[in-house]
Amino acid sequence: MSAVLRDNMECARALSALHAIPPDCSGEVWLKAGMAAKAAGVDFEAFNSWSSHGGDRYKGERDTRTRWESWRRGGGIKPATLFHLARENGWDERSAPLASTPPQSHQESARKVARTPTPDPFRLWDAAEPATAEHGYIVRKSGDPGGLRVYRGRLRIAGEAIDGWLMIPARTTDGLLQSIQFIPPTPGKKLNLSGATMAGTLYVVGDLNTDSPAYIVEGIGAAWTVHEATGAPAVVTFGSGNTSRVAAAVRSRASRLVLVADRGKESAREADAERLGCTWIELPSDLPDGADVNDLYIRDGIEVVRELLRNEQQITAAHDAAGARSFAFCRVGDLIGENIKPITWLVRDYVETDSLALMFGDPGCGKSFAAIDLACCVATGTSWHGRRTTPGPVFYIAGEGHNGLARRFAGWEVHNGVSLKGAPLFVSLRPARLFDMAAAKAVSEAVEELAKTSGQAPALIVIDTLARNFGGADENSAQDMGAFVANLDEYLRTRFRACVMIVHHSGHADKTRARGSTALKGALDAEYSVTKDENGLVRIEATKMKDAEQPEPVAFRMDRVELPIRDDDGQPLHSVALSGVSYVPAAKAGKAGRGRHQTVALQILAELEAERRQRLERSGHDPNGARVKLDEWRARLAGEDIDRKRFYDLRSTLQTAGKIAIEYGDYVRAL
């Protein structure tokens, strides 16, 4: 394919995506769409033509051009944002128009595609012939031809000749024909009418009425099945991204709403149901991803489908009998009996299974070492510094080269005396663009393939770091961050019931929070702050625990580890590993026992206590019996240039401040 033709195709794809976004969208969406369209090669004339249909929001060509020229094509928002916004509005890139011949230039291509008239859906529909029960798709799906038509003509969409394809009218909630979906008679991809947005459109099998529930499905095959099984109307949304909008629009025209999830879309439907205050149906897990309720019907029969939907009806019928449709109450006694379950811990009292967690801190603070330490402990079933772990496969999605990671993992092996050979610990070959749905799905499939090999579902999935696995989107955008979180939920956390641990940087100005949109923190089940002070002490503190008590903060020392590997000069290579020490709060100037020397003294005391505990554990004794001699403490402090006289001053200050206790036999312990 020539470069000119390829550019033309990319421009056509971008224009198709742009026209899928309603031009009367919010100012924020309009701005992102414009910047992303320009980055994708769309010219001003095409963008202005689209914007001119934005109603009161459009301020004229001069205003639009001024803003267009202020956007720098090479920086800021990338083309991926345009396609993300389009998909949110029901766009299917398979319907992107393709130019048949290469134009003279890329800009000519953009103008040519922009001038190409969008086929009129009214004329196409009026000229089409009524569908019959003999149409291949209707036969294959056991469907009903009522209300549908078949296209006859020379129209092509995405290079496909669609003569003989089934036509599904995509209407607004007011009944206005806005677009058309075309379905081939033989197995193949569905295509939408080029240039006509599917956003907010629907098709109803049956009749909506306030005495009946409305089932919300993505495709017409699923709608046929649900309507046959229940007799209730089924609403086709023409895609997952349209579900919430369409469901909200028809809520007042039904007694209640029931969302029916396609396989792989469970997380999105559950979130929609929670937002809308309705119920949802989950299909059997042995169906493949992408399967819908019609596939279940073809495989197992209508009675299986009817039973699946009947179970939901019984649950919601109890609510209806209590006098509520979308809002209801239950007895607290029943709630307690049915819903209280113990927390399932990945790391006892610290990290939950089936959760979304974040570990953030400044560069060089040790957060990646902490994530590696956690990953190795879970993969090998090793306790995490005294806390029991639930062993299981770990997948580490890395944003940096393998060489540095290999040394860090080797350092953990040497330091802990535990081999990683044969452990179900896997590291990615490259970063993942997890903001992008297709990339997230590819990661999910790769994880599943390896999980089948090990015979276990993932227990922990680490993303290190967010920035390197964000796919070029805007971290400060709530919408982009929301897409990132939604992909993690749908394709990793919910699919595998694993803990997804994100490693991220702290804010540039506010070091007490993670960088970027606060939408991330709102979605988290747990958040951990990682800091390192001037003495090298690494502290991890839980700053959010959604459903569990806040655990005690923990502290580590970063120990230099010699690896059993030599460089070209015969010198040993080194890495770093974490050793647990007693937690000491960070120093705050001007308070007794919290100055720099006092902090050093407390840290060294914590290290000595940790060494004594480890020694007792190795010898099979109770580590709680660990004690430190005052002379040992003083001798260790002498190595930090704290002389005898200063030591006695420190001891007195710390004792007065209630930071230490001196016990019989000249032993000292931290309080």
**Structure confidence by residue, pLDDT tens digits, 578-616:** 998 888 887 654 444 456 678 778 878 887 887 777 677
Q: 630: how many CB neighbours lie within 10 A of its CB?
A: 16
pLDDT level of residue 132 (50, 70, 90 thresholds) = very high
The DSSP element (H or E) to which 492 belongs, if any, is none
**Chain centroid to CA 13: how far?**
26
Average the pLDDT over each of 45-49, 108-112, 342-346, 352-356 and give the range with the smallest value. 108-112
pLDDT level of residue 475 (50, 70, 90 thresholds) = confident
pLDDT of residue 334: 64
Residue 244 makes CB contacts below 8 A (sequence gap 6+) with 272, 275, 276
Nearest residue to 625 via CA among 639, 609, 637, 641: 609
Strand partners, 560: 576
Q: Which residue has the tokens 């330490």?
A: 373
Over residues 250-263, the pLDDT tens digits come to 888 888 899 999 99
The mean predicted confidence, pLDDT, of the chain is 82
Angle between helices 27-39 and 61-70 (to 10 degrees): 60
Strand partners, 234: 205, 215
pLDDT level of residue 335 (50, 70, 90 thresholds) = low
- Checking if the pLDDT of 400 tops 70, the result is no
Percentage of the chain lying above the pLDDT 90 cut: 31
Average the pLDDT over each of 325-334, 377-386, 460-469 and give the range with the smallest value. 325-334
Beta strands in 435-553 (DSSP E): 460-464, 499-505, 526-532, 537-545
Residues 158-164, mean pLDDT to the nearest whole number: 90
Task: Give DSSP secondary structure letters for 560-593.
Answer: EEEEEEE-TTSPEEEEEEEEEE---PPP-TTSTT
pLDDT of residue 313: 42
Task: Give DSSP secondary structure letters for 199-262.
Answer: TT-BEEES---TTS-EEEESSHHHHHHHHHHHSS-EEE-SSGGGHHHHHHHHGGGSS-EEEEPP
Average the pLDDT over each of 316-320, 503-507, 531-535 and give the range with the smallest value. 316-320
Task: Report cis status (omega within 30 of 0) of the bond before 465.
Answer: yes
pLDDT level of residue 326 (50, 70, 90 thresholds) = very low
pLDDT of residue 350: 92
| Best mean pLDDT range from 311-315, 460-464, 654-658 | 460-464
| Best mean pLDDT range from 177-186, 359-368, 575-584 | 177-186
Q: Regarding predicted confidence, which is higher, 55 or 97?
A: 55
Residue 536 makes CB contacts below 8 A (sequence gap 6+) with 557, 558
Residue 74 makes CB contacts below 8 A (sequence gap 6+) with 39
Residues 552-576, mean pLDDT to the nearest whole number: 86
- Cα(29)–Cα(62) distance, integer angstroms: 20
Nearest residue to 486 via CA among 185, 635, 269: 269
DSSP-derived 3-state class of residue 484: helix
pLDDT of residue 105: 40
The DSSP element (H or E) to which 161 belongs, if any, is strand 160-161
Residue 665 makes CB contacts below 8 A (sequence gap 6+) with none
- Cα(506)–Cα(541) distance, integer angstroms: 14
Over residues 52-79, the pLDDT tens digits come to 776 666 777 877 887 887 776 555 678 8
Rounded to 5 degrees, what are φ and ψ at 497? 55, 40
Residues 439-466, mean pLDDT to the nearest whole number: 88
pLDDT of residue 146: 92
User: Are the CB atoms for 183 and 165 separated by under 8 Å?
Assistant: yes
- Cα(265)–Cα(486) distance, integer angstroms: 11
Q: Which residue has the tokens 């595609």?
A: 113
- Checking if the pLDDT of 322 tops 50, the result is no
Q: Which residues of 174-198 are buried (b: 16+ CB within 10 A; e: fewer)?
A: eeebbbbbbbbbeeeebbbbbbbbb
Q: Which residue has the tokens 């100037």?
A: 589
pLDDT of residue 55: 67
Residue 319 makes CB contacts below 8 A (sequence gap 6+) with 325, 328
Rounded to 5 degrees, what are φ and ψ at 427? -125, 140
Q: Residue type for 594, please?
A: R
pLDDT level of residue 13 (50, 70, 90 thresholds) = confident
DSSP state of 469: G
- Checking if the pLDDT of 558 tops 70, the result is yes
- Cα(478)–Cα(462) distance, integer angstroms: 22
Nearest residue to 259 via CA among 326, 318, 321: 326
- Cα(524)–Cα(548) distance, integer angstroms: 13
pLDDT level of residue 528 (50, 70, 90 thresholds) = very high
Q: Kind of pairing, strands 394-398 and 537-545?
A: unpaired
pLDDT of residue 508: 59
- Domains of the chain in sequence order: 3-115 (no CATH), 121-321 (3.40.1360.10), 345-581 (3.40.50.300), 596-670 (no CATH)
Residues 73-91, mean pLDDT to the nearest whole number: 77
Residue 55 makes CB contacts below 8 A (sequence gap 6+) with 23, 24
| Residues 151, 156, 157, 160, Cα dihedral to 10° | 100
pLDDT level of residue 204 (50, 70, 90 thresholds) = very high
Nearest residue to 366 via CA among 565, 576, 551: 576
CA atoms within 13 Å, Cβ hemisphere of 577: 25
Nearest residue to 511 via CA among 362, 365, 357, 363: 362
Nearest residue to 412 via CA among 450, 454, 390, 382: 382
Nearest residue to 530 via CA among 558, 488, 562: 558
User: Are the CB atoms for 260 and 293 separated by under 8 Å?
Assistant: yes
For residue 477, what are the CA distances in angstroms to 432, 472, 509, 518, 671? 19, 12, 17, 9, 45
- Checking if the pLDDT of 530 tops 90, the result is yes
Q: Which residue has the tokens 């010198």?
A: 571
pLDDT of residue 494: 85
CA atoms within 13 Å, Cβ hemisphere of 487: 24
Nearest residue to 367 via CA among 470, 503, 543: 503
- Checking if the pLDDT of 449 tops 80, the result is yes
Burial class (CB in 10 A: 0-12, 13-18, 19+), 94: middle
Over residues 618-632, the pLDDT tens digits come to 666 666 777 888 888
pLDDT of residue 402: 62
Rounded to 5 degrees, what are φ and ψ at 352? -90, 155
Q: 248: how many CB neighbours lie within 10 A of its CB?
A: 16
pLDDT level of residue 664 (50, 70, 90 thresholds) = confident
Rounded to 5 degrees, what are φ and ψ at 119? -55, 140
Residue 548 makes CB contacts below 8 A (sequence gap 6+) with 343, 349, 352, 526
Over residues 244-299, the pLDDT tens digits come to 889 988 888 888 899 999 998 888 888 888 778 788 898 988 888 889 999 999 99
DSSP state of 493: I
